[in-house]
Amino acid sequence: MADTKTLSVTRLVRKMRNLLEIELGELWVEGEVSNMRRQSSGHLYFTLKDDGAQMSCVMFRGNASRAKVQPDHGMQVRLFGEVSVYEARGSVQLIVRQVESAGEGELQAKFEALKRKLDAEGLFSKELKRPIPSFPTKVGLVTSGTGAALQDMLNVLGRRAPWVQPILYPVQVQGVGAERGIAAALDQWSQWRESGLPEVDVIIVGRGGGSLEDLWNFNEEVVARAIAGCLIPVISAVGHEIDFTIADFVSDMRAATPSAAAELVVPDGAQLQHKLQRYQSGMLRVVDGEMRRYAMQLQGMRRGALSMSVDRVLREPLQRLLHAGRSLTDTAERGVEQPEQELVLMKQRYATVHPEVLIDGRLEKLVHRRQLLEQVLVKRLEKMEQALQNQKSMLRALGPDSAFERGFSITMTKDGKLLRSVCSVRAGESLVTKFKDGEVSSVVE
């Protein structure tokens, strides 16, 4: 006869499930993700383990689609959910509802606390932001000397503005104590004379992308205060577009990536040269148009009063004079009263309209206008010529030839490859060094 206390497997497993769900309820569990499987249905199945044990986990499609952090193989995570039993297999599993990167909550809290503290001190104020120079000649780079971010910035700077000299201050950008090295670099460059560093116009500080833990050195207070106290304008370029650090809020300008920072800090040389050419063409068109306009005005004047002969100018006044003379003779003959007084009055009247007086007055006005026209034209031409010379001087100062004028040289391999480091040179290799006034061939010993 069967024992009445004997349970079926289904009832036993169900009691186990009820016991776990009631006794444990919802809780947080931390461990490492392994055996990740993503089903076409959208459900996630994986194992959470540590050094001593492991358990199965399932995250159903609804919670998985809403999760900000997607668990992946090898990731250290904190899971919130409910322990239950899968009756069909009798296996214990964790029904996951939320996922966080291990330590991310604590780091985020530290980030927000420091952000509030520095904001209350006014370190994020727009009034403290220093302007970034439009045409820097030397750009300081505070980043890893071996990272991809450095190569990205050097490539962009070399392509857009080859006359700009990048100067690297290599630092550790990740790991314990890296924030002290970053802050020290900014402090020393701020006091570049005392530190023996070259003077730069602007500094880019940053690194490539990574997790919140990887970027955390740029969230340290010592880095924020070093940026705020730096006497040289600072551009932060940490991580990717979605990454924000305390350094971004304190710096004078934030760039989404190191490459974007290099794009922002220097103008495009090709576009600048094209703009100067357009300005020059525009000024030449203005000068040519003004010359044509004044030439047409001068021609019009020549076709006017200057082209008339003396006979044509005097014809009408002489006719009036002859008519007046005849009237005067007739009046005298008729015995008009006070003939001498009327004669004097008539002479005074016609003295102002005498042909010689008219011609002298018009010629004087014409000469005066011509002098004014020549003065205006000469001043306009001198002003345009000075502006053109200024543009040419700027182009010469910003062009690559100015680097040779300041004593720089370029060393290349025999086949024309530019040398950027001594590590790329082999003994016995032939080199060519280009100076302002020629080239010198040499052999590496």
Looking at residue 187, what is its pLDDT?
94
- Which pLDDT score, from 0 to 100, does residue 58 have? 94
Mean pLDDT of the chain: 84
- Taking residues 12-37, report their average pLDDT: 86
The residues with which 238 forms a beta bridge, in sequence order, are 207
Q: Residue 86 CB: number of other CB atoms within 10 A?
A: 14
**Is residue 422 very low, low, confident or very high in pLDDT (cuts 50, 70, 90)?**
confident
| pLDDT of amino acid 290 | 82
Report how far apart, in Å, the C-alpha atoms of 148 and of each of 79, 145, 258 are: 34, 9, 9
How big is the CA angle at 205 (ends 202 and 209), to the nearest 5 degrees? Answer: 145
Q: Does pLDDT of 334 surpass 70?
A: no
Please tell me which residue, 342 or 381, carries the higher pLDDT value: 381
Instruction: Give yes or no for a contact between 123 and 224, defined as CB atoms under 8 angstroms apart.
Output: yes
Q: Do residues 204 and 235 lie in contact, with contact meaning Cβ atoms separated by under 8 Å?
A: yes
- How far apart CA 150 and CA 194 sit, in angstroms, is 26
DSSP 8-state code for residue 424: G
Fold topology of 9-102: OB fold (Dihydrolipoamide Acetyltransferase, E2P) (2.40.50)
Q: Output DSSP code: residue 128.
A: G
User: Is there a shared CATH topology between the 9-102 domain and the 106-267 domain?
Assistant: no
With cut-offs at 50, 70 and 90, classify the pLDDT of residue 3.
Answer: low
Cβ pair 31, 56 in contact under 8 A: no
What average pLDDT does range 2-16 have in this prediction?
78
Q: Does 222 have pLDDT greater than 90?
A: yes
pLDDT at residue number 404: 73
* Fold of the 106-267 domain: Rossmann fold (3.40.50)
Tens digits of per-residue pLDDT, 104-114?
666 777 888 88
Q: Which of 130-144, 206-220, 267-281, 406-420 has the highest mean pLDDT?
A: 130-144
Q: In terms of residues, how long is the chain? A: 445
Which of 11-20, 311-320, 340-349 ranks highest by mean pLDDT?
11-20
Instruction: Tell whether the model's pLDDT for residue 184 goes beyond 90.
Output: yes
Does the reported pTM lie above 0.75?
Answer: no
Domain residue ranges in the chain:
9-102, 106-267, 271-398, 409-443
Residues 282, 270: Cα–Cα separation, whole Å: 18
Who contacts 204 (Cβ-Cβ below 8 Å, separation ≥6)? Answer: 139, 140, 141, 142, 143, 153, 234, 235, 237, 255, 258, 261, 262, 265
pLDDT band with cut points at 50, 70 and 90 for residue 220: very high
pLDDT band at 183 (very low <50, low <70, confident <90, very high): very high
